């Protein structure tokens, strides 16, 4: 058996590694660094540290401290954003000197998985807080509204045409409020949902056809699927609801007048981190199936990101702010996680789900 070279060993590591020279130039990097910075090694070697991390990043101070102390230093929960793409990530950075000439080796470890879990639990807590409110509203608001609507319909028969516009407005607004309350009621529905093996590509194909026949007629939808994916452990109707909502949000972000609107639907098998998630069946589970919906709209406002999946948070003038909150609740009910990776002209929503595992050999729903 041939012996592995140091270069092969470094390239086999899943964590990004960069070698920074004495004048902050990028000297070398591994394959994971190419993926992380979305640059080939040939291009990376032409960059300065300032070209690939923001000018105010703690990474600069970390490099200088290593040179000063001539010993290893680490920094946790560092925010890194690529100046080229604007994609922000939370990472731990480990730095160590290499020789005596001021060269520093950086090892980067993303914290996104742990942080995603924290956000998911927060989103679910916010959704559960609506449970009692939704039940109360169903009784305290829907019943009186039906009386108001009935009274407006009676008035419409005895007023002139000018006033009928007002009675119709009353009916339309009461219907809108009832619809909002009914959507809130969904947060309080804690009944178990039948789940089984579902072909996620069948779900995405159905959602794509619906989108192209309606709200996404003007948008190019690209499919980039991994055909070898095993079935998802899920409920087909609810999975359709998840991805239809995300696809509709992507189309609305692009806008009706965009000439180059594009949405990319992709699937992949990722080595799942084993987690103990609400909604999972029997202890810790892996979430290896990843479904991504990427659009080339203007992106998500930065101040909205921490609250994106909270109820009543929206950028739409006529939006209720319940769509993504409900999506997060359904994904959580499947034992999965959802995240948003924001970037100008490249916003990506990723849903990670568990695979179906059973001994009865049931076929997946298409």
CATH code for the domain in which residue 95 is found: 3.30.450.20
pLDDT tens, residue by residue, 62-86 = 899 999 888 888 887 777 765 554 5
Contacts of 86 by beta carbon, 8 Å cutoff, 6+ apart? 299, 342, 343, 344
Of the residues 58, 90, 110, the one at which a domain ends: 110
Beta-carbon count within 10 A of 314 CB? 17
Q: Note whether 177 and 257 are same-domain residues.
A: no
Do 200 and 348 share a structural domain? yes
Sign of CA dihedral 233, 239, 240, 243: negative
Query: For residues 308 and 319, is the Cβ–Cβ distance under 8 A?
Result: no
Q: What is the pLDDT of residue 137?
A: 58
pLDDT at res. 119 = 55
In this structure, the answer to whether residues 287 and 270 fall within a common structural domain is yes
163 with 136, same domain: the answer is yes
What is the model's pLDDT at position 19?
A: 94
| 365 part of a folded domain | no
Q: Are residues 320 and 171 in the same domain?
A: no
Q: Are residues 79 and 221 in the same domain?
A: no
Residue 245 lies in a domain: yes
- Tally Cβ neighbours within 10 Å of residue 309: 26
Residues 135 and 180 in one domain: yes
- Is the same domain home to 208 and 328? yes
112 three-state secondary structure = helix
User: What is the C-alpha to C-alpha distance for residues 94 and 354, in angstroms, rounded to an integer?
Assistant: 32
Domain boundaries, position 257: 196-353
What is residue 316's predicted lDDT score, i.e. its pLDDT?
55
Residue 113: per-residue pLDDT: 54
Q: Domain boundary at 162, 188, 214, which?
A: 188
In this structure, the answer to whether residues 162 and 253 fall within a common structural domain is no
Residues 216 and 334 in one domain: yes
For residue 361, is it within any domain?
no
Distances (CA, A) of 90 to 43, 57, 122, 133, 232: 24, 12, 18, 35, 29
Q: Which two tokens stand for residue 307?
A: 């609250």
Whole-model pTM?
A: 0.56
Intervals of the chain under pLDDT 70:
1-2, 81-88, 111-140, 180-192, 271-285, 306, 311-322, 358-366
Identify the domain boundary among 110, 143, 167. Answer: 110
Strand ordering across the sheet containing 103-110: 26-29, 17-20, 103-110, 88-98, 73-81
Provide the sign of the torsion angle of the four alpha carbons 292, 295, 296, 302, taken in this order.
Answer: negative
Total domains in the chain come to 3
Residue 96 lies in a domain: yes
Residue 248 maps to which CATH number?
3.30.565.10
Claim to verify: residue 213 and residue 328 sit in the same structural domain: yes
What is residue 92's predicted lDDT score, i.e. its pLDDT? Answer: 83
Do both 61 and 201 map to the same domain?
no
132 assigned to some structural domain: yes
Residue-level pLDDT at 45: 92
Give the containing element (helix H, strand E) for 349.
Answer: strand 347-353
């Amino acid at each position: 058996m041939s012996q592995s070279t140091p270069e092969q060993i470094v390239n086999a590591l899943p964590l990004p590694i960069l070698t920074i020279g004495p004048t902050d130039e990028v000297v070398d990097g591994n394959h994971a660094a190419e993926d992380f910075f979305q640059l080939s090694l040939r291009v990376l070697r032409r960059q300065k540290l300032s070209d690939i991390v923001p000018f105010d990043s703690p990474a600069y101070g970390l490099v200088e401290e290593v040179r000063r102390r001539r010993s290893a230093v680490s920094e946790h929960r560092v925010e890194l954003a690529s100046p080229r793409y604007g994609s922000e990530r939370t990472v731990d950075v480990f730095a160590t000197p290499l020789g005596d000439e001021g060269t520093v080796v950086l090892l980067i470890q993303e914290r996104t998985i742990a942080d995603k879990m924290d956000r998911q639990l927060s989103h679910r807590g916010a959704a559960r807080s609506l449970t009692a409110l939704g039940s109360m509203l169903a009784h305290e608001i829907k019943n009186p509204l039906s009386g108001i609507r009935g009274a407006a319909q009676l008035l419409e028969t005895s007023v002139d045409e000018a006033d009928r516009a007002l009675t119709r407005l009353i009916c339309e607004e009461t219907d809108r409020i009832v619809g909002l309350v009914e959507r809130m009621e969904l947060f309080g529905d804690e009944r178990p949902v039948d789940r089984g093996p579902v072909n996620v590509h069948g779900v995405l194909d159905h959602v794509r056809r619906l989108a192209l026949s309606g709200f996404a007629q003007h948008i190019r939808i690209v499919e980039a699927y991994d055909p070898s994916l095993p079935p998802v452990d899920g409920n087909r109707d609810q999975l359709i609801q998840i991805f239809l909502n995300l696809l509709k949000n992507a189309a609305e972000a692009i806008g009706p007048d965009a000439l180059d609107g594009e949405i990319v639907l992709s699937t992949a098998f990722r080595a799942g981190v084993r987690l103990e998630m609400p909604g999972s069946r029997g202890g810790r589970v892996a979430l290896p199936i990843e479904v991504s919906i990427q659009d080339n709209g203007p992106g998500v406002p930065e101040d909205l990101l921490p609250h994106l999946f909270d109820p009543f948070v929206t950028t739409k003038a006529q939006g209720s702010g319940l769509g993504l909150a409900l999506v997060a609740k359904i994904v959580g009910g499947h034992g999965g996680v959802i995240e948003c990776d924001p970037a100008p002209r490249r916003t990506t929503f990723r849903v990670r789900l568990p695979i179906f595992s059973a001994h009865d050999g049931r076929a997946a729903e298409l």
